[in-house]
Amino acid sequence: MRPIAAQYYLTYNCNDRCEFCGMWRDSEHRVERESDLNEIKGILAQLKSLGIAYLDLTGGEPLLKDDLPEILKFSREIGLTTGLTTNCILFPERGREIAGNVDRLVFSLDFPTAEEHDRIRGVASFERVMESIELARSLGASPIINFTATRESVRFLPEMVDVARENKLLLWINPVYDFEGLHGFDPETISHIKYYGWNPNVEFNLAALEFMKTFGNRRERPRCRAASSTVTISPDGHLIIPCFKNSKGKVKIEGSIKETLEKSGDAASSQGRLDICDGCMMWPYMIPSFFYKVDKFFVLNIWSLIRLYWKEYRIKKGEKQ
């Protein structure tokens, strides 16, 4: 089965200082030179030829990439379905540049108040998110609010639902997966999330929540299919195999992405089996992985995807009425 998703880290630079993300302080993920626009276009064209169903342009903070509008425009021209997640610090200035060229626009918001959101982000950005929501809606977009749920922030889920409902947007509950010391949520917290998930303005991945009950990936019986399901590309145009967490897995693209993947079979076979893989719940890889084995996680993942698309459609339809 071919890869269905791509994670393209356009830059590792970030203007946030989030407690739950080590990207901004991680010395392992650094590059001397980022790919230029022509190189990026070449990679995107190859991803299209591979049949990638969904491209996630990520970082770092993607809006720090000067030529992001051209990248998004080219992605749309060649027919790639593209998602972009931003902390919104730069969106009020750059939102008009990318309008109409993103299939799924995602805004990060972690608390319903400026005091708490800005504290955990390490930068005053709450008001920028609110300003960005207004701008995006004026441009005809319905951004999804990405709520990174930690053991601390999940207590504010009712208030986050209110924020989504008042702004007529969808709230995506994203359980934190890379926070130091995190070992998933207790059953009561998972039930709490599920309760609010039936709200028409809220969605989550049910397979992910059920997977948390198993305490994540296990090396002896890996559920992760990171290398099989997802093509991961670094800012300097290298493949990262099997996944982003394996900082030593950078592979220079020799010939084409397809050829390089075929030559990297040994590296791909380590997916889910490395020391760092034990207990992993990195959803950008795990959720696509659920498609690669028919079990309860496969079924719950399909169901969650259908619910997500239906709620997105309902909200966008409501915006047009």
pLDDT in tens, 88-147: 999 999 999 999 999 999 999 999 999 999 998 888 999 999 999 999 999 999 999 999
Residue 285 in this model has a pLDDT that exceeds 90: yes
Q: By three-state DSSP, how is residue 199 classified?
A: coil
Judge whether 63 and 90 are in contact, CB under 8 Å: yes
pLDDT in tens, 202-223: 999 999 999 998 888 999 999 9
Specify the CATH architecture of the domain 5-320: Alpha-Beta Barrel (3.20)
Q: For the chain, what is the total number of helices (H) and then of strands (E)?
A: 13, 10
Q: How far apart are alpha carbons 17 and 22 in whole angstroms?
A: 8
pLDDT in tens, 15-50: 887 777 766 666 566 777 889 999 999 999 999 999
Q: Which amino acid is at 281?
A: M
Radius of gyration of the chain from its Cα atoms, rounded to whole angstroms: 19
The predicted model gives 168-197 an average pLDDT of 82
Q: Going along 28-161, which residue ranges are E strands?
A: 54-58, 82-86, 104-108, 144-149
First to last CA, the chain: 41
Mean pLDDT (the chain) is: 90
Domain edges within the chain:
5-320
The predicted model gives 242-265 an average pLDDT of 85
